[in-house]
Structure 1
Amino acid sequence: MRLIWILDYLRAEPYMAERLKLRLVDFDLLGADVAGLRERTVRALDVTERDFGVARMAWEAYRAPTPELCFGLLSRDFPGLPFLKPAPEQLLAELPSPTTGLGATEARLLELIAKGHNRTKELFQPGGLLETRVFDQWELGPCLKGSRPVRCRRSAALIPSSRRSLRTMRAAATPLFAGAGCC
């Protein structure tokens, strides 16, 4: 979602926007072997006006007080921004489950502990067993203790007051983006 925020911001900067290119990698760039980088395939994409429009729409959905707009993103295809769809899916998975009250990260952590994994390092280090992409290692502690950081509190606040199912919310959100000119 940070990239979406940056694209939305750069949209207002014509000098930057017209020269902007995205480089898509399908490997862990931070952990990549420097010597082997030359052999790796990296796609360069021009950022189009449509991509900037999609970024604006996604950023507005992320900042909305309820999750309906984020659910609306799930029903769309974004060929220019192929990484966009997994981000709201992962964020929405962190909403408390109607059956357990746990988000995806909390449920995964309890599953790992039940299997005998109880070492802090193996659970919480980056690239560890928990494999969370929503929370970093510094947000997990407060999130699990109950004094949730802003992103955790925001996820909990996204639950609508009525007890509609996620399927109902997804169906209600789909028409919200139907008239958007960028999609």
Structure 2
Amino acid sequence: MLHIVNGDSVAEKLKQGVVQGEILVWREVYPHGPVFQDPAEIDNRAMRSQHLEQTLGIPRSEFVQISRRQEQILSEFHKYEEVVLWFEHDLFDQTMLCYLLHFFSERPMLQTKLSLLSIGEYPGIELFRGLGQLSVKQMETLSGTWKSVSAEELELGKAFWQAYTADNPQMLGQLLSRDTSALPFAHDAYRAHLARFPSTHNGLGIVEQTTLEMLHAGLNSPYELFKHVGDRLHTLGMGDLEYWHLLKVMSQDPYPLIQFRGLDCEAVLTDFGKSVKDGKEDWIAKRGIDRWYGGVHLQGDTPRWRWDSFLQVIHDSGSEV
């Protein structure tokens, strides 16, 4: 049996007698940087590895080595009687899950059974952020509760991965208008992804907007900001490296939204940041953008795609989906 999980914390707990078999930690951060339908293609991997090194500090050679190793193990899935996928409700996990469902949807399973354990809550935990919160004993209650992956789940996972990696977010918007209940957490996770696009209101994505609101409310410590923004936007499952990079971009010239002061590097709103937060200025129109959202690369000061938070739709140069 092969268990594919979302992080080292979960893997270490499973190894403490919770499950039998081998455990593979799927090491990716698909919500950040360029993402392609076939991430193993040489040029795609080269572009992604370069971006992750430049923005998150992940060494290019390390990323390539890890990617090749986990894909080699995945390609040998037929050696196992059963493969169990352990993924939770947020965008970080749902993108990994949909990539794996896409992978398996295109291969005959033959004698290998594919199963899924995916949860968005746990009894007694008020704000469920993920499987890593659970103790070994709590993890034991989940062991064996996984269910066989259906053909409908495989096809929907494949559709989500193709839409997420497309260079046109209309595909994802259209998919979200369909019945996606076969993967119950995918709708909210990918809707949260679209909310990361620059808004029609002021050019800020949901993470930048929430950060400025937290600063306005009096939070100044980057670590406190990460905790509170992460709690409010837990559907994203955003990691610390992603958030530190975003804070860095928000503080850069020209037109910084925030500044860092003192030995503690406290963050404060700039006057321009206050104007943007209130919708009096447009951040992207002032400074431009060069950022990836799944398969969409936004560049320049008039990016094609914007998110309308009021109508909950993606706009294409004034048109909506």
Same-fold call, TM cutoff 0.5: yes
- Structure 1 or 2, whichever has the larger Rg, is 2
**CA distance in structure 1 between the partners assigned to 2:186 and 2:295 by the alignment:** 23
Deviation at 1:152, TM superposition (A): 8.2
Query: Is residue 162 from structure 1 mapped to residue 317 from structure 2 by the alignment?
Result: yes
**CA distance in structure 1 between the partners assigned to 2:215 and 2:118 by the alignment:** 35
Query: Is residue 108 from structure 1 mapped to residue 210 from structure 2 by the alignment?
Result: yes
Q: Give the 5 Å matches for 1:144-155.
A: 144-146=247-249, 150-151=292-293, 154=296
Count how many residue pairs are aligned between Structure 1 and Structure 2.
163
- CA 1:87–1:108: 2 relative to 1, 3 Å: same
Aligned to 1:130: 229
Q: Structure 2: any 5+ residue segments left out of the alignment?
A: 1-94, 123-129, 253-289, 306-314
Percent identical pairs in the alignment equals 25
Letter in 2 for 1:163: G
**CA distance in structure 2 between the partners assigned to 1:45 and 1:78 by the alignment:** 18
- Residues 11 and 17, structure 1, Cα contact 8 Å, conserved in 2: no
Aligned to 1:60: 162
**CA distance in structure 2 between the partners assigned to 1:20 and 1:45 by the alignment:** 9
- CA 1:94–1:59: 2 relative to 1, 3 Å: same
**CA distance in structure 1 between the partners assigned to 2:206 and 2:297 by the alignment:** 11
Query: Is residue 30 from structure 1 mapped to residue 129 from structure 2 by the alignment?
Result: no
The 4+ residue runs of structure 1 with deviation greater than 6 A are: none
Q: Structure 1: any 5+ residue segments left out of the alignment?
A: 170-183
Aligned to 2:18: none
What SS is found at the alignment partner of 2:228? coil
Which range moved further: 82-91 or 7-16?
7-16
More helix by share: 1
Give the one of 83, 90, 93 matched to 2:192: 90
- CA 1:155–1:145: 2 relative to 1, 3 Å: farther
Aligned to 2:56: none
